[in-house]
Amino acid sequence: MKLVYIVEDHDVIRNGVVQYLSISGYEAVGSRNLEEARAAFSERMPDLLIQDVMLPDGDGFSFVKEMKQRYPHLPVIFLTARTEESDRILGFELGADDYISKPFSPKELVLRIQALFRRIDENDTQTESVYTYKDEDNVLIIDDNEHVLSINGSPIALTAAEWRIVLYLATNAPNLITRAQILEECFDYSFESYERVVDTHIKNIRAKLKPGTWIDTVRGYGYRFSGKKA
C-alpha cells in the first residue's frame, strides 16, 4: 500500500483528502503544519507528498525545496490556492510532479496520483536499463534500473520529472519532440498553459547536464536530444 502524506492546514480539506485516498486504497497521513510534517518524515519516508503552500508555520515551497535536497526522487504534488502562473512555474522548478489548484475535484486528484504512480512503476520495470551517449568530449550514461545519470563518471541529481524528460528525449533521439509530446508522455496532461513548464524543466536540466550540450532547441517545434548513442 502506497503511503501518501498530505500537508494542509485546512481541517476539512485535509481530512477529506485523507478519507478519499484511504477509500481509494492508499495509506494517507495528514499534517496540519510543517512541524507535524517534519515529524512524520522522521518516522517514515512516504511514496508521495501532497503539499499546500500557505501554512501557519512556513512556506510550502521552501519545505519542498528542503525535502527535495534530502530526498531527490520524492514525488510531490502541490495542492494550493496559489493559482498564478508564476507560482506553478516555481512549483515545477522545485521538482514537483504536478500542481493542482483549489478548488479541486478529489476524483481528479486520485486519477493524477494513479497516473503518477503508474509512471513510476513502469520506469521501475524497464527491461533495457543502461543507455550510453557521447558528444565530442563527454560521455553520458543513463542507468534506468538504478535511476542514476552520470556524465564522465560523475552522478547528476535529477528530480523525478527531470528524469522522465531526459529519458524520453534520449530514448527517442534523434527525433524532434514537441512540448505537447513531453507533457503527454511525461506528465499525463497536455494543456497549453502548461507548455512553459516544459521550458522551465529543460532549463533546469541543461544547467545540471554539464559538461556538454545534450539538448537542442528546435525553434517553433520543441527539443531534440543531441547526444550520439555509443
| pLDDT tens digits for range 83-114 | 888 888 888 888 888 899 999 999 889 999 99
Q: What's the DSSP call for residue 114?
A: H
pLDDT tens digit string along 153-185?
999 988 888 999 999 999 999 899 998 889 888
Same domain? For 21 and 118 the reply is yes
Among residues 116, 67, 120, the alpha carbon closest in space to that of 94 is found at 67
- The ranges of the chain with pLDDT < 50 are none
Same domain? For 158 and 70 the reply is no
Using the 3D structure, point to which of 103, 124, 145 is the last residue of a domain: 124
Same domain? For 10 and 117 the reply is yes
Nearest-angstrom CA–CA distance, 218 and 169: 13
Same domain? For 148 and 111 the reply is no
Among residues 20, 41, 45, the alpha carbon closest in space to that of 31 is found at 41
Same domain? For 167 and 206 the reply is yes
Number of domains in the chain: 2
Same domain? For 56 and 137 the reply is no
CATH number of the domain residue 48 falls in: 3.40.50.2300
Among residues 72, 94, 76, the alpha carbon closest in space to that of 147 is found at 72
Same domain? For 80 and 164 the reply is no
Using the 3D structure, point to which of 101, 124, 147 is the last residue of a domain: 124
CB of 129 closer than 8 Å to CB of 145: yes
Using the 3D structure, point to which of 65, 90, 124 is the last residue of a domain: 124
Same domain? For 137 and 119 the reply is no
pLDDT at 50: 97
Say what the pTM is. 0.65
Please state the φ and ψ torsions of residue 221, each to the nearest 5 degrees. -135, -65
CATH number of the domain residue 204 falls in: 1.10.10.10
Nearest-angstrom CA–CA distance, 6 and 89: 21
What are the beta bridge partners of residue 131?
142
Same domain? For 134 and 120 the reply is no
Q: What's the DSSP call for residue 37?
A: H
Same domain? For 39 and 120 the reply is yes
Same domain? For 52 and 103 the reply is yes
Cell of 63: 519545505
Same domain? For 149 and 112 the reply is no
Number of Cα atoms under 13 Å in the Cβ half of residue 17: 31
Domain that holds residue 203: 130-229
pLDDT at 189: 61
Nearest-angstrom CA–CA distance, 47 and 74: 7
